[in-house]
């Protein structure tokens, strides 16, 4: 099936299927920055916003998203999860918008391509290791890889290392497979029955987009909390 | 001045990344027409079986997760909201294993 995209149409195939994911991702970031600028202008006028707006405004949407994400982060990590919140919130909104782009006709989701997903996953990987080293110090953080029993250390370290290195791969593959499969299914069923059935698959696509962004950010939170967990007491043997 | 620099560099770099996409060259994908007929048959059977077995196992696992969640809601309808979120997370994580197998099936099918 041909992948038509508005970017390719307007630039006469200068943006083809090899680089459309970069342009789409840049487009999502551009839209987000525009939205943030508009919302920020509104927020600057009032010093303290105690009463939210009545209707659904842009500021309201941002407030709802920020509040629910913050509740999620603090529910899992406790109150000092706040300092990790900017990355997690940004990841969620970015992945959600990237996935949603696949539902609009003529746009391809940038998360369709493993490169976009690997970019986010590797960022998360570097970030949680860096946060773990910052919380524990380098030697103690590496000591965690050896596991609880010292003489089984090397074996456990190998298993843990493999598990850790698989994490960004699994994060990106999960996102890639879900979004590609969803896009493919939508395309196939639209070719089969163009009339009413695509509505069901568009709704499924919306659901899957949200769930995948949610699962990605949830796993990010869990990895960060595992890396920075402070055990205050050793369990009695 | 510092804020302006921050905003400007953010917007500029995000647009710059999109413009850099034009500079990328990707090599043409090799045509798969040079494979043996038997190899093609094996690849086709493998990719079909991969997703079939994965979907079977995934459906069993997700069925058990949904069963446990629904039973919990049936016993305690007030806790429906608290049960639903972990159920969705469990379903997504089980489904991710099926998705790994789907990716392998795509890879195999692309080589035919």
Q: From residue A102, how far is each of A6, A65, A123, A160 by CA, in Å?
A: 12, 21, 23, 36
Task: Residue B15: list chain A partners with CB under 8 A.
Answer: 26, 30
Q: How far apart are CA A183 and CA A106, in angstroms?
A: 12
Instruction: Tell me the two tokens of residue A157.
Output: 């370290």
Instruction: Tell me the two tokens of residue A236.
Output: 């009695």
Beta carbons of A181 and B99 less than 8 Å apart? yes
In eight-state DSSP terms, residue A228 is: T
Angle between helices A197-227 and A85-100 (to 10 degrees): 160
- How high is the pLDDT of residue A184? 87
pTM of the model: 0.81
Residue B14 has its nearest CB partner, among A33, A181, A214, at A33
pLDDT digit string (tens) for B28-68? 444 456 778 899 999 999 999 999 999 999 999 999 999 99
Measure A138 CA to nearest chain B CA, in Å.
Answer: 31
Instruction: Tell me the two tokens of residue A224.
Output: 């960060």
ipTM: 0.71
Residue B25: which pLDDT band, with cuts at 50, 70 and 90? very low
- How high is the pLDDT of residue B30? 47
Instruction: Tell me the two tokens of residue B55.
Output: 């979907």
Q: Which residue of B has its CA nearest to A26?
A: B18
Averages of pLDDT over runs of 10 residues in chain A (237 residues) are 75 79 90 89 73 77 88 86 90 93 88 90 93 88 81 85 90 92 87 86 92 92 87 46
CA angle B87, A75, B90 (to 5 degrees): 15
Measure A212 CA to nearest chain B CA, in Å.
Answer: 8
CA angle A78, A80, A81 (to 5 degrees): 70
Instruction: Tell me the two tokens of residue A210.
Output: 């949200």
Q: How far apart are CA B29 and CA B22, in angstroms?
A: 19
């Amino acid at each position: 099936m041909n992948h038509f995209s508005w970017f390719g149409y307007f630039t006469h195939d200068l943006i083809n299927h090899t680089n459309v994911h970069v342009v789409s991702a840049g487009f999502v970031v551009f839209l987000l920055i525009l939205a943030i600028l508009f919302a920020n202008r509104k927020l600057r006028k009032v010093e303290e916003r105690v009463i939210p707006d009545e209707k659904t405004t842009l500021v309201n949407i941002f407030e709802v998203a920020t509040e629910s994400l913050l509740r999620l982060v603090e529910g899992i990590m406790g109150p000092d999860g706040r300092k990790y919140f900017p990355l997690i919130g940004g990841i969620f909104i970015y992945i959600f918008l990237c996935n949603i782009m696949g539902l609009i006709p003529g746009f391809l989701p940038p998360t369709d391509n493993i490169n976009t997903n690997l970019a986010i996953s590797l960022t998360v990987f570097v970030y949680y290791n860096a946060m773990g080293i910052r919380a524990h110090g380098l030697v103690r953080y590496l000591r965690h890889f050896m596991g609880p029993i010292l003489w089984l250390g090397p074996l456990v370290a190998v298993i843990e290392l493999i598990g850790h290195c698989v994490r960004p791969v699994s994060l990106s593959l999960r996102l890639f497979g879900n979004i590609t499969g969803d896009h493919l299914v939508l395309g196939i069923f639209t070719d089969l029955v163009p009339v009413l059935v695509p509505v069901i698959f568009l709704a499924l696509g919306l659901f899957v987009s949200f769930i995948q962004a949610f699962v990605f950010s949830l796993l990010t939170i869990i990895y960060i909390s595992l890396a920075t967990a402070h055990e205050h007491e050793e369990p009695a043997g | 001045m510092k804020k302006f620099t921050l905003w400007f560099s953010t917007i500029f770099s995000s647009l710059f990344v999109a413009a850099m996409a034009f500079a990328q060259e990707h090599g043409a994908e090799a045509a798969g027409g040079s494979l043996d007929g038997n190899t093609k048959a094996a690849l086709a059977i493998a990719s079909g079986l991969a997703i079939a077995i994965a979907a079977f196992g995934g459906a069993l696992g997700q069925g058990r997760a949904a069963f446990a969640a629904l039973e919990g809601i049936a016993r305690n309808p007030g806790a429906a909201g608290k049960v639903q979120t972990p159920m969705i997370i469990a379903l997504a994580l089980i489904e991710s294993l099926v998705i790994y197998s789907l990716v392998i099936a795509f890879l195999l099918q692309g080589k035919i």
